[in-house]
Every structure is written in structure tokens, then in C-alpha cells.
Chains A and B, each alone.
Chain A
Amino acid sequence: MQGFGLLSALVWLPIAAGVIVLLLGDRRIVTGRWVALIGSLITLVLCLPLMTGFQGGTAEFQFVEKLRWIPGFEAYYHLGVDGISAPLVLLTAFMTVPVIIAAWSVIETRPSQYYAAFLIMEGLMIGVFSAMDALLFYFFWEAMLIPMFLIIGIWGGPRRVYATIKFFLYTFLGSVFMLVALIYMYLKAGDYSIASFQALPLTLNEQRWIFIAFLLAFAVKVPMWPVHTWLPDAHVEAPTGGSVILAAIMLKMGGYGFLRFSLPIAPDASRDLDMLMIFLSLVAVIYIGFVALVQTDMKKLIAYSSIAHMGFVTLGAFIMFDIVQNTGSLKGAAMGVDGAMVQMVSHGLISGALFLCVGVLYDRLHSREIAAYGGVINTMPKFAAFAVLFALANTGLPGTSGFVGEFLVIIASFKANFWYSVLAAVTLILGAAYTLWLVKRVIFGPVANDGVARLQDLNIREFLILGVLALAVLLLGVWPAPLLEMMQASIHHLVDQAVASKVPL
């Protein structure tokens, strides 16, 4: 039994900071804001030892902490990270800071609760990624939704109630089935450790039910077609920070769930149902790509673009079975998962940045309609430079992080089936079309109206956060090797687990 350590600090420090901000209240918000910023920054700094101390060569969990939690129940407070969760923990800590800074002088109603909600959510999300006990995982998974409901419900737009309820029902319904699956496995395994779930022999039929239960939970989160319609509504109504966290981190939990639960716990069912997953992924890439093209609301467009990009995550995760079948070799299976992981991290940065860009415009003109803008570059050249960079990254431009994941998944999917790769590659065209058309209508052109004419360019805070995100997007695009190295051993281990049968003989 190891005691509290670095991961606990990463989970509870932001939560503690959140509680302090909450207690300081709106009247002492000046202090509260600084507490929030410093809290999120310390969390980020604490990730440095996580990064430097992380051993890339092993699939073992690291920074493990294990304490008895609910004794009669064999549930443990059990934290640890491997190559799959560590990058997502980093991403969470990294993306919370810009959200806090972006809110600085923008949020005027109940600011202390706003900061507190994000800090508490940060801790809970890190908890989701680092939980090694399924019940603990479920606790963080559900608890995290509460601050998100509040963020959309309190600081959201005019249709926030509809969006919140839709979001709530979707995610809650999905999660309930996951809970049932977890309890079923607990009854068989005797404890809640994810590792023992992974080692548990299960018949194909059992695996199918478990897979479908997980699928309902994770597909809603990703979101996969056809359970995606809550996302555009939630994004449109959410305040900027809510959208950033939603797109950058919360969607990743679905992808993470597939990698941590579905594939290793139900490998035979995954193989059995991989066609379904691939089909839904390709529908997301193409169908949603077309839908994104005709959006008139900037946030909706980016939300749909997110769904299409997340299609690459699920595609990359589930092509390994066809690769083995088609080539008779495992070569390429890990590449698909590599691509899925890189795509998650990259999408976290890019979609977060794009929502921040929309936020910058929304703060000034209070409209998300594409038609309300035009020629923004004339009055906001610095902003335009960033927006164009992130837009190009969103189209998967080589040299930016957006390229790496898509490239790996397209290459790997060719090994599975020629047509997967062809259909996935359609994103090159659709992604460019919807993103650049957005850029053309919003950024370029003559000044469209008085509102645009009065726009002020980025202030120093906005410049700073977009600048840091831009550097991250470029760095990951130019030199993704360290990220891949961090994940390598764990992903190979995952592939080995997924292609081995668990059906008892």
C-alpha cells in the first residue's frame, strides 16, 4: 500500500483551490481569481515531475497510490498512470490554465463559482484518467458531470436548460449501463480493480453485453454518431470555458474508456463488433463532415468538426483486428492506436484553441453567427493570425499536431482495408472545406459591418493563451516523438491484450 503521492496532489490540489475560491466568494473575487490561477498553475507545474519521472519503456502503471477506500466492498483509492493516461492528465492540467485566464474579466455573474467549478472539474477529470479502481473511476466519472451541468446551466446561453437536460440525460443514461457492467464484473472478480477486470475470463456472450454497456457510455462521450446530437447543443449554450473543457478533455474520456475498458476487458467482443465501430467512425468522419459544412453558427461548426475528428480516434482504436486478419501480422495495429492517442491530445489543443478564438469574438460582439462577421482580419490582425493557424491545424496540416494522428490512422487503416483508408482520407477534403470556408467568411474579406469595424485586437491575456497553445500545436506537429515514446510500451501492451482471447477454454 503506497500512501498519497503526486497523483493525489494533482487530483485534490485543484479541488482544494476550488473550494477556497468558493469560500472567498464573489466579493473577494480579486483574490479568488489569483487563487484559481495559481492553483491551476501549480497543478500544471506538478505535472513536470510526472513527465520527467515517467518511464517510457514499461507498460506498468507508475506513480501508483493504493489505499483502502470502502472495505466491505473491496474498493480502493487506487491511482496510477501508464502511457495511455499520462498524456491525458497532462492535457487536462494544460488546458485548464487558459480557461481560467480566459475568464479573467469576462465572467461577471457569480465568478467565484465559475472558477471553483472549473478547478473542481480539473481535479475530477485527472481522477478519471488516473483511477485504477473501477468504482473510483465511476465516482470521478459521474462527479465530474455536476460542475459541467452547473457551468452550462448557470453561465450558458438562452437555451441552456434544454442543452443541459439533453446533456444530462444522454451521459447519465450511458453511464448507468456502464455501472451495471462494472458491478457484474465485480461480482465475478471479487474486487473493483481494473486490472482484475482485464484479467477476468469472460465468455463471448458476456463480453458482448459488457462491450455494449461500455459502448453506450463511451459512445455518448466521444460522441459517436448517432448519439452525438447533444454535443452541438451543449457547445452552443456553454460559456467559452465550458466549451473548451468539453471539447478538449471530456470528449477524450470516451476514447480513453475504449482503450482502458472495452478493448482489454472485452477483446473477443471487440473483434466481433469491430465492423460496427469502424462503420460508426467512418460515418462520423464523412456524414458529420458534410453536416459541419452547412453550419451557420461558429460553435456548432467546430462542434461538428470535433465529432468528425473524434471519428479518427475510434477508427484508429478498432482497426487492429482487421489488420491482423488482412495482413496476418500485428504490424500496424499499434500504429492505429498511436494515431488515436495523438489525435486525442492534438484535438484537445486545437479544438480548445478554436473555442477560445470563438470566445474572443463572442466577448466582443456577442454573436456566434458566422454571418455577423466578415473581414475580422482588418481590425484584429493578431487574432486573425492565430485563428488561421488553428484553422489550418484543424484541417490536419503537416507541421501542426492535427496532422500526426490523422496521418497515422489513415496509414494504419490501409493495412486493414483499402476502403477504410480511402474513406478516412476524405477528411482531407471535407475538413479543408468546412474550416477554410469558415475562415473565409469570418476572418477574410472587407469589413462587413460596424461591429467588426469597432473590434479591438487581442489583449495581452488573450495573446498569451493563444500564443502558448499555438506553440504547443506546432511543437507537437514538428516533433511528436516524445509523446509517442511515452505511450509506446503501454500501447503495445494494450494491443497484446486486445488480440488475445479471454474466452475460457
Chain B
Amino acid sequence: MNPNVLLAIPLLPLIAAIIAGVFGRQVGRAGAHTVTIAGVAISCALSLYVLKQIYFDGAPTFDAPVYTWLVSDGINIQVGFLVDRLTALMMVVVTFVSLCVHVYTIGYMHDDPGYQRFFSYISLFTFSMLMLVMSNNFMQLFFGWEAVGVVSYLLIGFWYTRPSAIFANMKAFIVNRVGDFGFIVGIAAIVYFTNSLDYKEAFAAAPQLVSQNIVLSHTTSVAALTVICVGLFIGAMGKSAQVPLHVWLPDSMEGPTPISALIHAATMVTAGIFMVARMSPLFEHSETALTFVLVIGATTAFFMGLLGVVNNDIKRVVAYSTLSQLGYMTVALGVSAYSAAIFHLMTHAFFKALLFLAAGSVIIGMHHEQDMRKMGGLAKYMPITAITCWIGALALVGTPFLSGFYSKDVIIEAVGESHRAAATYAYWCVLLGVFVTSLYTFRMLFMTFHGPERFRHAHGHGHAEEQGTAGDPGPGGALAHAPAFATAGAHGHGSAHTSAHAAEVSHAPAHAVHSSGGHGAGAHAHEEHDRSAPHESPAVVTVPLIALAIPSLLIGGLTVSSVVFGDFFGDAIFVLERNDVLGELAHEFHGAIGFALHGFLSLPFWLALAGAATAWLFFLKKPSLANTTARTFGWLRTILVNKYFFDWINENIVAGATRLLGRSLWRGGDAAIIDGAMVNGTAAAMGRLGSLLRHVQSGYLYSYAFWMIIGLAVLLGWFLWR
């Protein structure tokens, strides 16, 4: 492979980002989107070329440094690229989704005053993500890891006048830093044993590390690989939003929708999944770490999915779905089915980006309304959005022959095959998760695109603060009518489902300026509460939807036999013989079509169907039933609406205790003990002593300086002439 081609892939988006960001005023709006789209388009084409070279032409793995970052104590830390089949696949996914999102942004951000800044950020993100996936060492991995986090921070807070957005972005960064804390300790552990930051060295040393321990205290020590892998995985839990570090992802929906699709669905949040797969030579040797991964993933997959069922904000439903799907990928990692995890990562990137962009299209069509209770029947007005959204949804729930089916079914079967501790728990989680996925997905489809048209009766935005009592709550609305006391945190940013929306729309000035593109009249209707009918979005929005719908339909069936059951990844992914569940499954695999046909007879399909039927009954056919059920299971509803109280605990107990500790160390430690008792106390004692020597202690600075010099002179004189 040509190193210059590889270098160009991340650098083109970086250069484009600098041009659009620093010279935004000079190049103008059209200039900014032209240069960034050109940059990412060339990157995408080159990535495809690299994939072709490496997969079809059999080019060898590329692993070489670009330049030396630093040399410390003989340890050479280099910036460099490792491009094998895993990398090449990730590069294509990242640049392709990024390209779609770039184009879509032209429409979505059309009237936003921060147009150039936005393009600059998403190009910078593409650069950072590429540096992450292409890295051949832990330093650069950490660079990419943090850099995507920063761009995410900047983008969640893109509309910086909204209090909810700037709280969400800070929260995202800090929660991710909790993960990075584990990550850097894991990296330090690797250096401890290998004296190197290169993947190559670490992977080579892994088999020897099995017998090594890290001393925690005189009596306890832990297996080296457990510390390394759990540390690294804690990083992944932050970035890939696994319980309990998931809390930032739903709030990240404060950012503009294109980045929700790009960063918070398709690419950045999957960085943790990619990282663990990349580190498979390390994880494979730690049963403890993999079991930990499995439990965390399974818990996320099922319990986060449930939250999607009670949410009324269309973007947040998709966000909870993302959490749940990331859980599925993590489960796959936990049972050593790394290639299944990457396979699901890829299909998910396409259909979830599609769902987000479709949701964004709905939001544009609804004049920046995100509450599904004010939608309904949109299919008639937005046919392309509706059809593509249905495709994405069907892929998500795992309809046989669609790409999501292949990736999800493989994971479920792999878990069923696994003998790892906690595999049974994980199996039930992912199985029931299928029902839940189907339930929230169809609920979203029905509330948005079908049923009665509620937008005409919807009241003004200001009423949303009355916790959904304004207007017609709509089917299933009652599910979310729980007391949202979890959000009565110190920050006053509504983040429960009902009030979240209120918080978002109560900043009308911010909204007015980023109103929808290509239909100026709509923006005013939005403020006057006199809604014109929803309408289909312009081509820059619908074309990316179609571009993503195609792989959402086809990519799974086309690639499953090589990516999961074939030898696609070659030696990029390492699985021990005894852990090889996919190898076991491969014996029963007889082609993609047979697999899909068999899918109709399997339990997940029927669970998905049951979910769809439940959604149809509750949210389309007989909405009153939803309200009755919600009332019957009030306690459950309270737990779900408050998101298992994670936010409440974080904001009131964790943040509160932190501030209290800070204040007591400051007031008590610094001010009272150190300054009060010791410093000023000594000064006061000296003062009393000094009253005897009042003429010396004049209180003037020059006097002190004078005496200091006299003293020095006397001292020096004594030495000199003694």
C-alpha cells in the first residue's frame, strides 16, 4: 500500500476542517461545504481503494510509523498506521457515513449562523476518528480517543446559548473522562510489562503476560491481563456508553441531528467496540475481563432498550436504541465473537445513521418539533422519509434478509453457544431485548408516521412545560407522565422526557436561527403556533437517506458469509480455539439465504413480531390500553421515566458530594487549618512577640527588604573576614 495514500485519508479532512474553521468567513458557506465534502469524499474513495487492495488484491497488512512523537527513556513513541482488514472496513464505514452526513448537513443546517463552524467540526471529527482506527500504537489511539471526545463536546454544545446543551456537553466530556481514567491506567499497565506502546509488542507479549501479576497490596495481586483489559474496557464503557457510564449519550441529543447520526450512532460510540476487537489478542487471554464485558453489555442491551419505550422525543428514542444496540455489540465481544461485533457495528452504522437522519428529516418537516405526541400520520406528507425510516426500522428489529437481521441473529446465536460464566444471563437479555427493540421501534414508527394527525391540534411550545398535559397527549403519552423528579437537580436542565422537550424548545431564539432549510415560511409558522402542513425534505436530505437505505437493506446478506463465517478479518482478530463460538456456528451456516429462511422459524423473529403486534395494539389500535397499562404499572413507569435514577444519583449525590468535599477541603483545610491556625496563627503569635520589638516591625515592605539585605551582608561579612 502506498503510505502517501494512507496519509492523505486522515489529512484531507483535517485540512478541510482548518480551511472551513479558520478561514470560514473568507471561503463562505458554499466554500466551506464544498471543501469539506470534497475532502471527505476523496477520503472515502481512497478508503474504498484501500479496502479493495487489501481484500481483493491481497495486499499485505501495512504497519509503519509516520514520525517519531517522542523518545523517552529509550521508549520510542511513534505516530503510525496499522492498516489491515479490520482497519480498512472501519475506514470505509467512517468515511461513507461521514460523507452522507456532510451532504445532509447542507440541508439541515441551511439557515444556521454557525454553518462553517459546523462543517469544520464534522470534518475535524472525521480526521480524529480516522486517526483512532488507523493507529498502530496506544498513544495515538488515546489521541484519537480523546480528540473524537472533544469534537463531540464541541458539537453537543454547538448551540451554546442553550443551557441544556452546554450542560450536556460538559457531562459527556466528564463521564468520558471517567472512562479514560481506566483507559490510561490500562495503557500504563501495558507499558509496565512491555516497555512499548506499539500494538505489535503488546500482542506479541500477551501469551507471556498470562502468568504475570500486578501487586495491589502486600496480600493481594491481580492478573496483569485483567488489569490491562478491564482498564481498557472501562475506557470503552465511557466512549461506547455502557452502563453505568451511559448517562451522557441520551443528553448528547442536544446536539444537531447530523452529529447524532455521525458521532452518537454510527462512529464515535462504536470506537469502544472497535478498540476491544482490535485488542482481541489481549482480551482473549483474560476470562475475567471478558466476563465483565459480557455482563456490562447484556445489562446495557436489555435495560437501556426498555427506556426507549417510555420516551416521547423521537431523537431520544433512537438514542436509547443506540445504547441497547451498543450493548449487543459488547455482548458479542464478551463471548469472543469479535467479528460478529464488528459486523453488527457496520450494519448498525448504516441503519442507525439512517434512522437518525430520518428523524432529523421529520424534525425539519415538523419545523423543529421533536415530540412524537405532536406527530402522527406523517407518512402521507413525507413519503421518502417514511419509507427509508421504515427500512432502517425493519433492519433494526431484525427482519430476515435485512442487514440488521444477520448481525443481530449471529450475536444471539453466539451467546447461546457460549459457555462463559454469565452467558445464560446475557442470552436472556439479548433475547428479551429483541422484543423490546421491536416494541419501541414500532411505537416510534406508528406515533410518527401513522395514526391520527396530531400536529394540527398541537399547542404552542411553551405549553410543553406542563409535563405533557397540554393538548392531546396522544397514544402512549401517559407512559411518560410520571413525576419527573429525577431532574430536579441543581442544574435546572430538564432532562426527563417530558420536560426535556420543554427545555429544548423554551429557547426560542436559538431555535429561530437554526430553523429548517429550504422552506423559509415554515420558520415563522413555528413561532406563531400556526402550523403549515409538514412537508418532504429537500434532496440534500433525502438523497443521503436513500444512500444509507441501500446498505441497510443489503450489506448484511452480502457480507455475512465472509465477515462473520469466512476469513474476512484474517489475522486482524484473534480468537483462542476454546472460545471460538463463531467457528462452532459456522458448521451450521449454509449461506445467507438459508440463514434468513431459518430466521423465520427462530425465537427472535417471533419475539420481534410480538413486539410489533404489541406496539400496534397499544399505540395505533387502542391507545387507551397504553394508558391503562401505564397506570397499572405505576412503579415501573416511575423507574423507567427516571432512567433508573442514574441521573438523579449523579447530579445530587455524586456531584453534590464532590462539591461538598471540595468546599470542605477549601474552607476547612486551606482556609481554617493551614491559613487560619498555622500561617496567620503563627503570624499572630509573632505579632505579639513583635510588639516588644515594635520599632523593627514597621510593616513597610522596604523595611523588611532592608533588614533582609542587612542580615545577608552581616552573614556574608562574617564568612568573608572571619
Contact = CB atoms under 8 A, between A and B. Distances in A.
A101 interface: no
Interface in B490-515: 507
A334 B73 contact: yes
A481 B68 contact: yes
A412 B146 CA distance: 21
A409 to B, nearest CB: 10
A407 B184 contact: yes
Contacts of A149: 701, 705
B720 A333 contact: no
Given A445-B160, A481-B68, A485-B71, A72 B720 contact: yes
Contacts of B178: 429
Interface stretch (B84-92, B98-106, B469-477, B664-672): B664-672
B184 A415 contact: no
B576 interface: no
A411 B197 CA distance: 10
Interface in B194-240: 195, 214-216, 227
A291 B720 contact: no
- Most B CB contacts (10 A, CB to CB) among A229, A327, A331, A485 go to A229
A153 B701 contact: yes
A362 interface: no
B425 interface: no
Interface string B698-711: 00010011001000
Interface in A318-341: 327, 331-335, 338-339
A318 to B, nearest CB: 16
A422 B142 contact: no
A414 B191 contact: yes
Contact of A331 (B73, B145, B679, B704): B73
B533 interface: no
Nearest to A478: B69
B669 A287 contact: yes
Interface in B636-664: 658-659, 661-663
A73 B143 contact: no
Contacts of A168: 701, 704
B704 A411 contact: no
Interface residues of A, number: 76
B170 A291 contact: no
Contact of B173 (A425, A432, A488): A432
A389 to B, nearest CB: 10
Interface string B420-441: 0000000000000000000000
A479 B670 contact: no
Given A290-B662, A479-B67, A428 B181 contact: yes
A436 B662 contact: no
Contacts of A287: 665, 669
A51 B161 CA distance: 46
A172 interface: yes
Interface in B678-722: 678-679, 683, 701, 704-705, 708, 712, 715-716, 719-720
A378 interface: yes
B143 A398 contact: yes
Given A399-B143, A426-B181, A414 B658 contact: no
A226 B216 CA distance: 28
A252 B568 CA distance: 54
Interface string A374-386: 0101100000000
Interface in A396-415: 397-399, 403-404, 407-408, 410-415
B177 to A, nearest CB: 4
Contacts of A428: 177, 180-181, 184
Given A149-B705, A422-B185, A183 B174 contact: no
B76 to A, nearest CB: 10
3 interchain residue pairs of minimum CB distance: A414-B188, A294-B662, A398-B143
Interface of B: 67-75, 139, 142-143, 145-147, 150, 153-154, 157, 160-161, 163, 166-167, 170, 173-174, 177-178, 180-181, 184-185, 187-189, 191-192, 195, 214-216, 227, 507, 658-659, 661-663, 665-666, 669-670, 674-675, 678-679, 683, 701, 704-705, 708, 712, 715-716, 719-720
Interface of A: 70, 72-73, 142, 146, 149, 153, 164-166, 168-169, 172, 179, 183, 226, 229, 287, 290-295, 327, 331-335, 338-339, 375, 377-378, 388, 392, 395, 397-399, 403-404, 407-408, 410-415, 418-419, 421-422, 425-426, 428-429, 432-433, 436-437, 439-440, 443-446, 479-481, 483-485, 488
6 contacts: A166-B679, A414-B189, A432-B173, A433-B177, A433-B658, A445-B166
